[in-house]
Amino acid sequence: MFAARRSTQYTTQASRITHIPKDVREEMLADLSTRFQATDYNLITNNCNHFSNAWAELLTGNPIPEQYVNQAQEILRSPLGQMLIPMMEQMERTYGNVTASGFQAPQ
């Protein structure tokens, strides 16, 4: 049995429980990892929240709340976020995508 908990500095939510055996979970995770390569990482559209959502859906059949999955988009809709967009786009053109191991050079 595997029970996941979600937590932020503001909330803690108990996730659903899965009875999927560990070896099956590891195989599922390996399959999922093909969709979430470091080179595909994008701070806005393909980040750790998107991965967590896909993983939660595989394990429990339930997504995580949209407020977490789309957190980056929500921030960019704010007045401050609108000011950050040009800087982020320039950084991406100059340095490429930010990955877990640093910047991925533009192609």
Number of helices (H), then strands (E), belonging to the chain: the values are: 5, 4
Which residue range is the domain that position 18 belongs to?
2-104
CATH number of the domain enclosing 57 = 3.90.1720.30
Has this prediction a pTM greater than 0.75? no
Per-residue pLDDT of 45-100, as tens digits, reads: 888 999 999 998 988 888 999 989 999 889 999 999 999 988 888 887 787 766 55
Spatial separation of the C-alpha atoms in residues 66 and 11, rounded to whole Å: 14
The SS3 call for residue 53 is: helix
Amino acid at 12: T
* Tally of domains in the chain: 1
Listed in sequence order, the residues at least 6 apart from 54 whose beta carbon sits closer than 8 Å to its beta carbon are 32, 35, 36
Per-residue pLDDT of 47-56, as tens digits, reads: 899 999 999 8
